[in-house]
Amino acid sequence: MLYIWMMSLIFYRYTFFRFSPGDLSPPYWINMGAMAISTLAGSLLILGSQDAPFLHSIVPFMKGFTVFYWATGTWWIPMLLILGVWRHIYKRFPLTYDPLYWGAVFPLGMYAVGTFQMARALEFDFLDLLPRAFSWIAVAAWTVTFLAFLVTLYRAARTAVAK
Alpha-carbon gap, residue 98 to 29, rounded angstroms = 14
Question: Alpha carbon of 68 to those of 4, 84, 97, 121: distances in Å?
Answer: 10, 25, 33, 14
- Write out pLDDT tens, residues 1-12: 777 787 788 778
Alpha-carbon gap, residue 120 to 127, rounded angstroms = 9
* Total domains, the chain: 1
pTM: 0.86
Domain assignment of residue 96, given as a range: 2-162
User: Do residues 110 and 36 make contact, with C-beta atoms less than 8 angstroms apart?
Assistant: yes
Task: Provide the 3-class DSSP secondary structure of residue 143.
Answer: helix
- Write out pLDDT tens, residues 100-124: 888 889 999 999 999 999 999 999 9
